[in-house]
Structures are given as structure tokens and as C-alpha cells.
Amino acid sequence: MVSCSGEVIIETTNRTYSRNMEDEYQKFIRRMNPPRVVIDNESCKNATIIQVDSANKHGILLEVVQVLTDLNFIVTKAYISSDGGWFMDVFNVTDQEGNKIRDQGILDYIQKVLGSDTSFTNSIGVTPSTDRTVIELTGSDRPGLLSEVCAVLTHLKCNVLNAEVWTHNTRAAFIVQVTDKESGSAVSDPERLTTIKQMLSYILEGSNKAREAKTSVVSHGVVHTERRLHQMMLADRDYERGTGGGGDGDTRRPEVNVVNWYDKDCSVVSIRCKDRPKLLFDTICTLTDMEYIVFHGHVDAEGPEAYQEYCIRHVDGSPVKSEAERERMIQCIEAAIERRVSEGLKLELCTTDRVGLLSDVTRIFRENSLTVTRAEVATRGGKAINTFYVRDASGYSVDSKIIESIRKEIGQTMLKVKNNPQDSNTSPQESPTRFLFGGLFKSKSFVNFGLVRSYS
């Protein structure tokens, strides 16, 4: 037993030593070959071109995309190549109005962040939580859930500073940042944290005993909210479609296909769907969290529809190995695209922040039979700036009279109705399915797990 024990310890130590050496080697390579960032505002007439060259590592593509997304850039085209030990990516980007990025301060910031030899994402898009408590929740969605969660937090004397809520396929995920009502600092008492966790778990369990609710309370660390929400919903298996269907009422689902390219020992993922902000981040985030590496890619999002195509391998170097793995990847990518699609009427609330404000507003929604499908809650300079997407709990269109009644109760100047792009009757422009790599795939044989097709 002693001998066996000794052997296990040695093996574990060697594995740890190997991982540490690998990490140090990657750091050394990055120091010897720091990222090179080139920003070009001349070559393209309608976009700023950002090129990033760097030593390669798993997750680097997501880090770059995350930086651009957190700066609210729109990516209209992208070219990805990361064969071997080197990574090169080219992005065509604009601001939210479709203009080139001209602000020199922003351009200098891009150079500084993407040109750093440390992780790009350490300095942007990440919320420090040392002065607040971060609560993560996943569970079954139902009308009034957000209202109940907010009421519990108010009852427990917690002030909600920031929150983001996503719902998809009958599941809900929350990230809520709170402080103690009295001290204004993070909630740190272990007994109180346990009470918060227990009460919220009880609320989330609801009537669905078949799917476990999860509650996590973190009093320190950093959080990239959108990345974490993707991870939470992926872990909660929101991609599994039950007998009730997708639950989002959108009959136009993304077109996702996965085929194996055996000549190159890789898989090709092609995505075609309606374009929207942050779409690229959502798909790359999911592929990365599923442990796939994109080593070639092409993105085209200049029209109403977006096309993305990636050559991928698993981190172990293998292509997609089975039909079950292929189906799961398709479902997970579809879910990543759908989670952020906000159905319902968009309401914006801007008013002076106070303890219990979110609880009061969501209670009014619930009492008027409105359910929140997505929410973004922020506090800046003592002001509450909240966005809600709401639907009628019975599935009917939201009655304009109910909305006006709610606005009178909350304050017409504080709660405003915004145009909802999902209400548009215009359908996306149709165009034939295409492969973005063009001639690269000509005369190559693809095998879709039993279905052989030749593209020429």
C-alpha cells in the first residue's frame, strides 16, 4: 500500500509539474513574441480593420472577440487562422451606428489591451466583486420568478446593484450583484449567506422537481457576466428541447450544420441565422467552453443575415467523433444564438436608485400578468438604468392599455416603451446557403456520419 501510494503521489506530482511547465512555456513564448496589433482605417471604405497576430493558445480567439464585443463594436467580417503555434485574426469592425472607429483614445486602448502579453480580458468587461456579493442562480423559468427573487433579496436586506437575467427553453439563469442594505458593502457573514442561498434555492425549485435548481453565492473574485451566463445555461442543459419545443415562439431557428472533413482530420461548423449584436461572441464562447479549437474561420455579417464557418478540432486534436456529439454541438450552438434573442416588449426604466426598487417594479409586472424574458439591471452614479423584455404570461400580445397603466403607476417619465425588433413583420432577406471558404472546399469529400456528400 505504501508503494502504491508512493507511485500515485509521484504521478500526480509529475502531472502537476508538467502542467506548470507548459503554462510557464506558454508565458515565455508570449513574452518572446508579444501580440502584434495593426489598426487600419484606410483599406476598407466602410469599416476599421483590426489585425491581431500572437502566439497561439486555447481560448485566445474568444479573448480577442470578448474585448471587441465589450467595446460594443459590430464585427462585419472576420478571418481566423491559428494553425501551429501562431494565431492570426483579422476583424472588420464598426461602431453601433455603422461608422469606422475614429476616436484616437479608443484606438490607443485597443492597441494597449490586445497588444498586452498577458490575458487580454483581465482589464475589460470583467466586474470586480470585492465590494459586493455575486449570486448565481439557475432553475426552471416561470411567470413571476424574477419578482419572487427580488422580493426575497429585499426581505433579506440586500440592495441589488447589477443583475442580468436570461431565459431560454423553460430555463432561467441569473447573475445578481448585491450589497448589504446597512453597510453598503459585500455580504460576508457566513450564516446570512447560507440563509440567502437556502431561500433562493427554495424559490427556484418551484414545481419542477425533475430539474435541479442551483444557487451559488460568491463574495469575491471577478465576473464576466455574459460569459458566465453562457456557461451556466450550458451546464444546465438548456439546449435540450423538451416536448414543449423551444419555448421561445420563434419558428425561424438558426441553421447549423456540422460535417467531418477527413482529408484535413477536422470538422466544419457552418452557421446561418439572422444577424444581431454579439452573435460572434456567443458562438465562439460556446465552442470554447465545449473544448473545441477554431483553427480556420470566416465570418460575413454585412447583410441582414450572418454566416459563420469554422474548421474545428477538439482540444485532444480529434474531429467530431460520433452522431451524438454532432447533434449535441448543433443543439448547443443553436441555444447560444437563441439565448440573447429577446422576445417581447422592451421597457426601459431610468430613475433614482433605492433599496427595493427592483422588487417593486417586477411585482407590478407580475400583478399585471407580465413575465420577464430577459433583464439587464445596472446602477450608475445613484441612478437605476434597467431594461426589461416582457410578454403576457398567457402567451397573448401585450395589451397597450396594461402597459399605460403600469407606466402611470411607476411613472411615465421613468418607464418608457422602446421599439422591439422582434415585432417587425419584415422577414430577413433570403439567400442561398453557402460555404464561406469558397474554393478551399472544392472537390473535397465530406462525411456527415453516414451521409456522404461531394461539394464541387
136-147 pLDDT tens trace:
999 999 999 999
The DSSP bridge pattern shows strands 415-418 and 222-223 to be unpaired
pLDDT 10s digits, 386-403: 999 999 988 788 999 999
Q: Is 303 left (phi over 0), alpha (psi -120 to 50) or beta?
A: beta
Q: Which long-range contacts (CB under 8 A, 24 or more apart) does 411-416 make?
A: 411/351, 414/349, 414/350, 414/351, 415/347, 415/348, 415/349, 415/361, 416/347, 416/348, 416/349, 416/350
Looking at residue 117, its amino acid is D
pLDDT 10s digits, 337-362: 999 987 789 999 999 999 999 999 99
On whether the CB atoms of residues 261 and 268 are closer than 8 A, the answer is: yes
pTM: predicted TM-score of the whole model, two decimal places? 0.82
Query: What mean pLDDT is predicted for residues 305-330?
Result: 96
Please state, in angstroms and rounded to a whole number, the distance separating the CA atoms of residues 338 and 81: 27
The pLDDT of residue 430 is 40
The pLDDT of residue 85 is 75
**Grid coordinates given for 245:** 419545443
Q: Does pLDDT of 41 surpass 50?
A: yes
Q: HEC string of 200-251?
A: HHHHHHCCCCCCCCEEEEECCCEECHHHHHHHHHHHCCCCCCECCECCCCCC
Sheet holding 86-94, edge to edge: 36-40, 48-55, 86-94, 74-81, 292-300, 305-314, 266-274, 255-261, 444-448, 451-455
Q: Does pLDDT of 284 surpass 80?
A: yes
DSSP state of 127: E
**Which of the two residues, 158 and 443, has the higher pLDDT score?**
158
Query: What mean pLDDT is predicted for residues 203-210?
Result: 70
Q: HEC string of 158-169?
A: EEEEEEEEEEEC
Please state, in angstroms and rounded to a whole number, the distance separating the CA atoms of residues 226 and 163: 11
Where residue 241 falls among pLDDT bands split at 50, 70, 90?
confident
The pLDDT of residue 73 is 97
Q: Which of 7-16, 108-117, 120-129 has the highest mean pLDDT?
A: 108-117
Helix (H, G, I), strand (E, B) or coil at 444: strand
Q: Does pLDDT of 423 surpass 80?
A: no
Where residue 119 falls among pLDDT bands split at 50, 70, 90?
low
Q: Helices 60-70 & 279-289, crossing angle to 10 degrees?
A: 150
* C-alpha distance from residue 380 to each of 287, 352, 414, 418, 430 (Å): 33, 10, 15, 21, 42
pLDDT 10s digits, 360-372: 999 999 999 999 9
- Other C-beta atoms closer than 10 Å to the C-beta of 393 total 15
The pLDDT of residue 352 is 93
Please state, in angstroms and rounded to a whole number, the distance separating the CA atoms of residues 139 and 236: 8
Please state, in angstroms and rounded to a whole number, the distance separating the CA atoms of residues 72 and 277: 8
Q: Does pLDDT of 432 surpass 70?
A: no
Q: Which stretch of 83-87, 231-235, 298-302, 417-421 has the lowest confidence by average pLDDT?
A: 417-421
Helix (H, G, I), strand (E, B) or coil at 68: helix
Over pLDDT 90: what percentage of the chain?
61
**Grid coordinates given for 363:** 411585482
The pLDDT of residue 35 is 82
Q: Helices 60-70 & 104-114, crossing angle to 10 degrees?
A: 160
**Grid coordinates given for 286:** 460556446
Q: Does pLDDT of 247 surpass 50?
A: no
